[in-house]
Amino acid sequence: MEFRRKALENLRQPDDLDSPVRLTRPRAWAVLAVVGAIIAGGLVWSFQGELARSVDVPGILTHPLGVSKVESPQSGTVSNVLVETGKVVTKGDRVLTVVDAEGATKTVRAPFSGRAIALLVGNGQYVTAGATFMTVERTDGENDRLVAVLFAPADKAGMLKIGDRVDMDVASAPAQAFGLMRGRVTAMDQFPQTEQQVQDFLGGNKLLATQLLDQGGPIRITVDPDRDTHRPSGYRWTTDSGPPFRINSWTQVKGIGRLPGERPIDWLLPR
C-alpha cells in the first residue's frame, strides 16, 4: 500500500519541463576547441609546410683520374723498391730496379705523377713483364683537385643534378665530433659504369669496388668540396671549424644529397 501511495503522489506532481538541460560542460567545450585548433593547424601545415628530404650515396675522396696500375716493362728479380706507400712520385722518378735474366739491372720509372697507394712487390721477388707492381693515385690531371666520387643507383642519381648541395660524412673525421664536409655536384655520368670500369678507376681494388656497388650503384657522381683556406682541413664544414687536421684522399665518405622539400599533402595526394 505504501508503494501505491507514493506512486499516486508522483503522478500529482508536475513535470519539470521548464528546467534548462545542460548538454555539455565548459571543460568539454575547451577540449573541443583544442582538438579543432589542432585539426586546423594540421591542415594548414599539410598545404604550407615542407618536409626536408635527403638521399645517401657511398663514395670515396680521391682525384678526378682515380687510381692507375703501374706495370713492369720487363721480367726479372726485384733488386730494390725505391718508393714507399703513401709517398708522392713524379713522372720519371725511379721507382724500381729489376735484374733481368742476363744479370743486367734495369730501372723502372714512374709513368705518371701521383701518390703511391699500394706496393705489390718486394726485394727479391720475381716480376714478369706486364705485371702490376704498384698502384698510384693520379695527380697529373689537367684540373687536378681533391673530389668526392660517389656511386649511386639510378633511382637515387636521378634525384640529384649538377649544382645540388651535398654534405659528406668523412670516415676519418666522425660527423659527431666535426660535422659534415660541404660540397656541390659538379659532374654526373649519363650512363652506368660496369663493375670492371669501377675497379679500374679504383686501381683494381675489387673489394672496394664490390662494396661501393653493393651499397650504392653504377652511376658515378663527382662532388667538389667547398674550399676554405681559413680552416685547418682546408675545406668548409657544417660546424664552425671542422677537424683540426688535413683530410687525405683515398678516404671513404657517405654523400648526403639535400633535395627540395616536399609538402605533406603530396604524400596523401601524389601528383
Can you read off the three cell numbers belonging to residue 172? 676519418
Sheet containing 67-71: give its strands across.
67-71, 132-138, 114-119, 88-89
Say whether pLDDT at 259 is over 90. no
pTM score, two decimals? 0.74
Say whether pLDDT at 15 is over 60. no
Q: How confident is the model at residue 217 (pLDDT cuts 50, 70, 90)?
A: confident
Range of lowest pLDDT (106-110, 158-162, 183-187):
158-162
Out of 2.40.50.100, 1.20.58.1030, 1.20.200.10, 3.40.50.300, the CATH code matching 67-138 is: 2.40.50.100
For 63, 146, 186, the CA distances from 227, given in Å and listed in that order, are: 15, 10, 14
Q: How confident is the model at residue 148 (pLDDT cuts 50, 70, 90)?
A: very high
* Average pLDDT over all residues of the chain: 84
* CA R_g for the chain: 35
* Sole residue written with cell 652511376: 219
Tell me whether domains 52-65+142-265 and 67-138 share a fold.
no
If we measure between CA atoms, which residue out of 177, 171, 164, 214 comes closest to residue 61? 171
Q: Where are the domains of the chain?
A: 52-65+142-265, 67-138
For 41, 44, 226, 246, 271, the CA distances from 37, given in Å and listed in that order, are: 6, 11, 45, 53, 28
CA–CA dist 61, 170 (Å, integer): 9
Give the architecture (CATH level 2) of 52-65+142-265: Beta Barrel (2.40)
Q: Around 229, how many Cα atoms within 13 Å sit in the side-chain half-sphere?
A: 0
CA–CA dist 69, 62 (Å, integer): 15
pLDDT (tens digit per residue) in 27-77: 666 666 666 667 665 555 455 545 445 688 999 999 999 999 999 999 999
Cα 23 to chain centroid, rounded: 60
CA–CA dist 137, 135 (Å, integer): 7
CA–CA dist 216, 150 (Å, integer): 8
